[in-house]
Structure 1
Amino acid sequence: MLDIEWPDSWRAAFRIELRAEAIGLAWRGWPVVPGTYPDADSTELQNTASKWTRPTPVHSDWKRRIGAHPQQVATWWTGRPYSLLVATGTLVDAIEVDDRIGRRAAALLRATGQPAPIVAMPNGRWLFLTASTDRLPRPLAEAEGVEWHGEGSWVPLPPTPFRHGVVHWRVKPDVWGWKLPRAEAVHDVLVRALREESVPRTQAHRALPVESSAA
């Protein structure tokens, strides 16, 4: 658990780790941008310090900074432990779901041998990363609590801190050799997870072994 006021040693350690991760992602072509963090002052939080819940881009012109050279990225994290954000809609998209759907979808992906990069946030939300796409299946678009991060959005990546915890990987990108999965493949699994969530637990429990053995 993280306090709002970090000790200097924690602040320095987080800044170094965040900077290293940001540089590594930038070298791989991921569009990283710095984000706000829990104990930043009111100016950095864009006057939202009293209601800070999750990171947002520090710079108002963050869209123009997408694709910055890794050396430029390194300078952004030189002085402060900014959150590590990745802009979505160009290289990577993300589907954000709650914990129950996240766990079910992750299990389905494992069962089908289709791992995808998965991020868990301290607020109980999960992010499934995919290659960018221009559409979302209707069941996901209409589902309550499902959010598509595409063009004009962003998501936090590890080890970004929240007020009470740190963003972490459930499945790291190197499982896929840093090749993002097709959006359609992950969407299909998330739709299945949504449908199974709507089935009574006893029925779902009976159905899952049959479905798994047929795969």
Structure 2
Amino acid sequence: MLETDWSDGWRSAFRCELRAEAVGLASRGWPVMPGTFPTGSEWTGRQGAESDGPRPIHDDWQTSAGSAADHVAEWWSGQPYNLLLATGVVLDAIEVDADLGRGAAAALRAVGVPTPIIATPDGRWLFLVEPGTALRSELADLATLHGTGSWISLPPSPYLHGVVHWRVKPEVCGWRMGDPNLVQDAMIDALTCTAIEAELVA
């Protein structure tokens, strides 16, 4: 996959957009924080730390992630930091691959249950759910639960080859997070349908 050309002009424009989004989410009480961002083929923004994806720039991110709008605005005053959210506070996120994500989203639409969904440029879908529910054993090898002690990237965070975006915006759901049991039901239903289709083809 081709890398995105993050020129100075693009980085400046994204910094303004990221800052506005961070301030808006902070005003809703979301614990946002700055993360490393792409420059060329590397992630930068944190000294002495190499990674293959975004990560918090502060070691004390679990206590410094905050919702004070003026503090958040200051973070994004100079760099186009990735927009991260500390999970396990206002929401958890269930991460799956794009195929399972599309199937689960279709299952949720079929029963009229809107849930905020994020997609990353590297083919991962994240379903934002109410915090505190464990991942079921059926999904243990196929999904990752981001809860306490973890984080996720929020739109419009830049990646090496694209931008994180909403598949279903929180506004569509009235800013309510998905029911984690219903979302996991939808994922399991999607797996069942995929298995049945594979048997029919075989």
3-state DSSP of counterpart to 1:198: helix
Identity %: 50
* Matched-pair contact (CA < 8 Å) for 2:43–2:52: no
| Cα distance in structure 1, aligned partners of 2:154 and 2:43 | 22
* Alpha-carbon separation, structure 2, partners of 1:199 and 1:124: 24
| Residue segments in structure 1 that go unaligned for 5+ positions in a row | 205-215
1:104-115 equivalences in 2 (<5 Å): 104-115=103-114
Aligned equivalents of 1:88 and 1:29: distance in 2? 12
State the AA in 2 paired with 1:147: T
Q: Residue 35 in 1 paired to residue 32 in 2?
A: no
2:22 counterpart of 1:22? yes
Q: Deviations over 1:111-150 (max 9, x none)?
A: 1111100111000111011110142222122xx2311101
Give how far 1:43 is off: 6.3
1:1-215 equivalence runs, <5 A: 2-3=4-5, 6-39=6-39, 44=46, 46-48=48-50, 52-141=51-140, 144-201=141-198, 203=200
Q: 2 CA distance for matches of 1:191 and 1:185?
A: 10
Say which SS state the counterpart of residue 95 (structure 1) adopts. Answer: strand
Give the secondary-structure state (helix, strand or coil) at the position aligned to 1:152.
Answer: coil
The structure with the greater share of residues assigned to helix is: 1
Question: In the aligned structure 1, how far is the partner of 2:105 from the partner of 2:28?
Answer: 25
Return closer, same or farther for 1:110/1:22 CA change in 2, 3 Å cut-off: same
| Number of residue pairs the alignment of both structures matches | 197
Matched residue SS, 1:38: strand
Give the Cα–Cα distance (whole angstroms) in 1 for the partners of residues 194 and 153 of structure 2: 26
Taking a change above 3 Å as real, the CA distance of residues 176 and 186 of structure 1, as seen in their structure-2 partners, is same
In terms of Rg, which structure is larger?
Answer: 1
| Rounded Cα–Cα distance in structure 1 between residues aligned with 2:151 and 2:44 | 21
Q: Is the contact made by 1:32 and 1:84 (CA closer than 8 Å) also made in structure 2?
A: yes
TM-score by length of 1: 0.85
- Pick which of 132-141 and 88-97 moved more: 132-141
SS at match of 2:84: strand
3-state DSSP class of the match of 1:132?
Answer: coil
Give me the whole-angstrom Cα distance separating, in 2, the residues matched to 1:114 and 1:41. 36
Q: In the aligned structure 2, how far is the partner of 1:46 from the partner of 1:127?
A: 29
CA RMSD of aligned residues (A): 1.8
Query: What is the CA distance between 1:180 and its match in structure 2?
Result: 1.1
Deviation string, structure 1 residues 21-40 (Cα, Å, up to 9, x no partner): 00011001111011001117
